[in-house]
């Protein structure tokens, strides 16, 4: 069974510096339903790609129909494989390909911008304190039915100014969701916080706080 164009691109992307036997095993494990490929097929494909810069058997004459030709596609996917956290705008500036073309390539090969999950540092007594608070709120609701109108409910958005990740504008491009988690965040990070609250039926206007330690 011959390799499709998409399968050839996938093999190029997962090859790295590994031997052809390992690459073939990796590809076969990703496609258990497909007829397995042998390492000699991988070796021929890589040799052709190194010699011609293409995975096609023959070079098609004429001008490429769009910026999303084979060479650009391989370059864009390889770039995100090396640096999955980079933005499409920055890559567009570096390689001279429009953001629209880059997004079209990523969409064609089912790559998605996965959002980082921030892992909070909790103290050992945090679970107990949350249970105690829940029980206290339940008691207050039984005593005072209008208790929620006497509670200040607030939320905030934080922008870190020392290079740490902001989950609202940071993405990880991949064709697989690796459930990316950042556990490095600490309470001592320098940041700008925008705070806003609701007290009963009143909105407490937003405040901008610069937190530096």
Q: Which of 111, 130, 161 is the last residue of a domain?
A: 111
Q: How many domains are contained in the chain? A: 2
- The closest of 73, 144, 78 to 102, measured between CA atoms, is 73
Range of the domain at 125: 118-211
> Looking at residues 115-132, what average pLDDT do you find?
75
Residue 173 has what pLDDT? 63
For residue 33, pLDDT over 80 is answered with yes
* 208, β-bridge pairs: 194
CA distances from 118 to 55, 96, 191 (A): 40, 33, 15
> Looking at residues 120-141, what average pLDDT do you find?
84
Q: Which of 89, 111, 133 is the last residue of a domain?
A: 111
pLDDT digits (tens, 9 = 90+) for 188-202: 567 788 889 998 888
Q: Are residues 206 and 123 in the same domain?
A: yes
> Looking at residues 15-39, what average pLDDT do you find?
88
Query: The dihedral of CA 39, 45, 49, 51: what is its sign?
Result: positive
For residue 69, pLDDT over 70 is answered with yes
Q: Are residues 151 and 92 in the same domain?
A: no
- The closest of 195, 115, 211 to 161, measured between CA atoms, is 211
Q: Are residues 66 and 136 in the same domain?
A: no
**What's the pTM?**
0.36
Strands 202-211, 191-199: pairing kind: antiparallel
For residue 206, pLDDT over 80 is answered with yes
Q: Are residues 135 and 174 in the same domain?
A: yes
Name the band, by pLDDT with cuts 50, 70 and 90, for residue 25: very high
Residue 102 has what pLDDT? 85
State how far Cα 40 lies from the chain centre: 34
Looking at 4-18, 141-155, 157-171, which range is the least confident one? 157-171
Residue 135 has what pLDDT? 92
Q: Locate tokens 């829940």: which residue? A: 134
Q: Are residues 35 and 71 in the same domain?
A: yes
> Looking at residues 126-153, what average pLDDT do you find?
88
Q: Are residues 31 and 63 in the same domain?
A: yes
């Amino acid at each position: 069974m011959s390799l499709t164009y998409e399968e050839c691109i996938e093999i190029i992307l997962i090859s790295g510096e590994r031997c052809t036997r390992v690459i073939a095993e990796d590809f076969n494990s990703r496609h258990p339903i497909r007829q397995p490929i042998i390492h000699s097929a991988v070796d021929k494909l890589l040799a052709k790609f190194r010699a011609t810069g293409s995975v096609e058997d023959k070079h098609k004459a004429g001008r490429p129909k769009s910026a999303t030709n084979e060479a650009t596609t391989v370059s864009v996917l390889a770039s995100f494989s090396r640096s999955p956290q980079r933005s499409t705008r920055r890559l567009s500036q570096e390689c001279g390909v429009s953001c629209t073309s880059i997004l079209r390539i990523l969409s064609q090969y089912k790559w998605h911008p996965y959002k980082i999950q921030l892992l909070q540092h909790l103290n050992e007594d945090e679970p107990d304190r949350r249970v105690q608070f829940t029980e206290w709120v339940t008691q207050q609701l039984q005593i005072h039915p209008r208790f929620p109108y006497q509670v200040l409910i607030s939320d905030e958005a934080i922008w870190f100014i020392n290079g740490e990740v902001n989950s609202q504008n940071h993405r990880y491009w991949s064709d697989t969701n690796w459930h990316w988690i950042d556990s490095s965040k600490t309470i001592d990070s320098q940041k700008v916080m925008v705070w806003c609250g609701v007290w009963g039926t009143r909105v407490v206007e937003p405040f901008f706080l610069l937190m530096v330690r």
